Amino acid sequence: MATETPLLVETQYYNIPENIQLDSGKEFGPITVAYETYGSLNSRKSNAILILHALSGDAHCAGYHSPEDNKPGWWDMMVGPGKPIDSNKYFIISSNVLGGCKGTTGPSSINPETGNPYGLSFPIITINDMVKVQKKLLEHLEIPQLLTVVGGSMGGMQALQWMVSYPDSVYSCIPIAATSRLSAQSIAFNEVSRQAIISDPNYNNGDYYDGPYPEKGLAVARMIGHITYLSDESMHQKFGRRLQFQEELSYNFLTEFQVESYLHHQGQSFVRRFDANSLLYLSKAMDYFDLAAGANSLEKTFSRSNGHYLVVSFTSDWLFPTYQSWEITSALQKLRFPVTFTEIDSQYGHDAFLLEKEQLGALLANFLESTHQQFEEELS
């Protein structure tokens, strides 16, 4: 299915000409959106797919930025020529979310009124606010209706929000390892991560851009988060209780187990590519997300949507466990919406949507092919 031809892409930017009304009640702008596209839009504009990233993702979901680039996009195994989300067949859009730090306006962006980074003067945002910005991008690209919206984790939450907020603009939806609202446990993990950042002496109430960076706090926050993305089985198989550099215990507080060294590496790598304030804002947006809020039930919320659904969960995902995907599926089934639910047997935990290439890839390819055919028939 895969091809050896490298996919070269360029990040593009769109400046939204008007302010956005945020869920908090505030008007906010200007907003710049970073996005990438793959493939070509057909004459009927019926093959457009919007890919929505997870908390630490960005617009670069596939391909390379140059022939010398040695690191592909975060979902390169799924997106590109001949891949499950095939850029030879579909026009694929991927954008960085509002509040992010990879090109779309966020707390590290310059506030035009002050000439300094927003920091904590950046407004509180929601998943719905992210989707509002994405809708403006789609209007700019002159795409009236998407074939599908697809995303894992926070991306799946955005996909569900799309179906509720703009039901006439999306034909199908693929939420992967997602939920209609965070559990108390997930909110708790997010709060501990935020406190790790805020408690760093260098955090300086979010105004650290011209001074020492809160590296330790952000690294610890990433370590906490990364533990929740894995599973007990995957950590056991990958690390067990193996020591990193010696054969015997050293009886001190140095990093000596392989799993400890791995987490430190993940933390330090994250510090080099992500903004601490963005982590605060995006994790809080996830906490606020509750698709049934105001409607008292998921069924009532989904009743104002339509479309075809493929809901995917993973057996070892304890962060967004299968019962949460089943709650979504059950509500859709009660409404007699066309929905397929699949639980993939995987040892990789929540991160399985980034790792289960074969099983997940086959599901996506088959669903997109059949859904695209139905969409074309309905347009005829």
Flag the least confident range among 72-86, 145-159, 289-303: 289-303
pLDDT higher than threshold 70 for residue 4 = no
Q: Which residues pair with 243 in a beta bridge?
A: 257
> For residue 162, what are the contacts with CB-CB under 8 A and spacing of at least 6?
50, 131, 134, 146, 149, 169, 170, 173
Q: What is the mean pLDDT of the chain?
A: 95
CA nearest neighbour of 90 among 127, 58, 47, 139? 47
Q: What is the pLDDT of residues 146-173, one digit of tens each?
A: 999 999 999 999 999 999 999 999 999 9
CA nearest neighbour of 128 among 165, 178, 81? 165
Q: What is the pLDDT of residues 110-139, one digit of tens each?
A: 999 999 999 999 999 999 999 999 999 999
Flag the least confident range among 176-185, 244-253, 273-282: 244-253
Go through 163-192 and write b for each residue having 16 or more CB atoms within 10 A of its CB, e for each that does not. bbbbeebbbbbbbbbbbbbbeeebbebbee
What is the dotted CATH code of the domain comprising 12-181+291-379?
3.40.50.1820
pLDDT higher than threshold 80 for residue 323 = yes
Taking the C-alpha atoms of residue 72 and residue 4, their distance in angstroms, rounded to an integer, is: 13
Mean pLDDT over residues 272-286, rounded?
A: 97
Mean pLDDT over residues 195-223, rounded?
A: 97
Q: What is the pTM of this model?
A: 0.96
CA nearest neighbour of 352 among 320, 329, 325, 323? 320
* pLDDT score of 7: 87
Residue 89 tokens, joined = 């067949």
The DSSP H or E segment spanning 365 is helix 357-379
* pLDDT score of 200: 98
Percent of the chain with pLDDT strictly greater than 70? 99
* pLDDT score of 252: 85
| SS3 label, residue 372 | helix
Mean pLDDT over residues 77-93, rounded?
A: 97
* pLDDT score of 263: 95
CATH T-level fold of 187-283: Rna Polymerase Sigma Factor; Chain: A (1.10.1740)
A 10 A CB-CB count for 287 gives 17
Q: Which residues pair with 28 in a beta bridge?
A: 20
pLDDT higher than threshold 90 for residue 344 = yes
Q: How far is CA 138 from CA 14, 158, 176, in A?
A: 11, 15, 22
* pLDDT score of 2: 46
pLDDT higher than threshold 60 for residue 185 = yes
* pLDDT score of 5: 64
pLDDT higher than threshold 80 for residue 282 = yes
Q: Which residues are catalytic?
A: 153, 317, 350
Q: How far is CA 139 from CA 91, 119, 145, in A?
A: 15, 29, 10
Domain range annotation of the chain: 12-181+291-379, 187-283
Taking the C-alpha atoms of residue 134 and residue 146, their distance in angstroms, rounded to an integer, is: 12
* pLDDT score of 302: 95
Taking the C-alpha atoms of residue 199 and residue 218, their distance in angstroms, rounded to an integer, is: 10
